[in-house]
Amino acid sequence: MKHSRILHAEFTAAAESLDHLPPPVSAEIAFAGRSNVGKSSVMNTLLERRGLVHTSATPGRTRKLGFFSVETDDGARLLLVDLPGYGYARRSKTERRAWGDLAEGYLLGRPVLRAVVLVLDVRRGAESDDLDLLELISDRPRVSRPPVAAILVATKLDKLGRAAQKPALERLSRALKRPVIGFSAPHGVGKDELWRKLRKAAGVEAPPGSPAER
């Protein structure tokens, strides 16, 4: 099952505050997760560009939203948005506020946001910060827009033995009462399935019978 090819992927903007967001033009998909969970690796795998999305060297230090535009060979265009990692960043009240003002303001106030991909470590599952985030995106948005999909990705699947992978995913999915996509960045596992969900949420589904649909 192949998704269509990435024609072009590039970093287009960074925003340190809500006043500096780029104009809302294309559909946006935000990526969230605890620091070090593997979020940058999921994004780089989707963009087919190793190292395009950087991990912050000091966990929790990045207080910016990173915007990456992507264009596929069948004409789909969207923006993947890297949210600051949380966890370490949420230790102190001041840090929590800094994360909250920017990330929460973006998540609840962005009219073109269509989905949030929550990246989890398959070995750890959802922790309290992750549950907070899921609750946040189910809050009433501050702008009028279609519903924002929550897409759960359990990454680092390759760190579990083969026999343990499926049961771990099923356990996670049961606990969260939602489907969970198993992912492994080095092996590209889950990439096509995640692309299909992103495109559906962004309203840029591949035409029937195209390679992305097969």
Least distance between ligand GDP and beta carbon 137 (Å): 18
CA 76 to chain centre: 18
One character per residue 73-92, x = contact with ligand GDP (rule: CB under 6 A): ------------x-------
Angle, CA 162 vertex, CA 158 and CA 166 arms, to 5°: 95
CA–CA gap between residue 178 and residue 176 (Å, rounded): 5
Whether 149 contacts 201, CB under 8 Å: yes
Between 193 and 205, name the residue whose CB sits nearer to ligand GDP. Answer: 193
For ligand GDP, the closer of residues 38 and 67 by Cβ is: 38
* CB-nearer residue toward ligand GDP: 96 or 200: 96
Tell whether residue 40 is a contact of ligand GDP (CB under 6 A): yes
Among 159, 166, 174, 214, binds ligand GDP (CB under 6 A): 159
Asked whether position 165 contacts ligand GDP by CB under 6 A, the answer is no
**Do 133 and 86 touch, CB atoms closer than 8 A?**
yes
Report the number of secondary-structure helices (H) and strands (E) in the chain.
6, 7
Interface segment toward ligand GDP; rule CB under 6 A; list 13-21, 22-30, 132-140, 156-164:
156-164
Identify whether the C-beta of residue 118 lies closer than 8 Å to the C-beta of residue 130.
yes
Asked if 69 is part of the footprint of ligand GDP (rule: CB under 6 A), the reply reads no
Q: Which of 158, 193, 205, 213 binds ligand GDP (CB under 6 A)?
A: 158
Distance of closest approach, residue 184 Cβ to ligand GDP, in angstroms: 4
Closest CB 25 distance from ligand GDP, rounded Å: 25
Which residue blocks in the chain are alpha helix, DSSP H? 39-47, 93-99, 105-109, 128-138, 162-176, 191-202
CB of 35 to ligand GDP, least distance (A): 5
Q: Which stretch binds ligand GDP (CB under 6 A): 38-46, 107-115, 130-138, 164-172?
A: 38-46
Edge to edge, the sheet with strand 6-15 lists: 6-15, 65-72, 77-82, 28-33, 113-121, 149-155, 180-182
End-to-end Cα distance, the chain: 6
- Shortest spacing between CB 199 and ligand GDP, in angstroms: 22
The amino acid present at 17, given as its one-letter code, is S
Give the residues lining the site for ligand GDP (CB under 6 A): 33, 35-41, 55, 85, 155-156, 158-159, 184-186
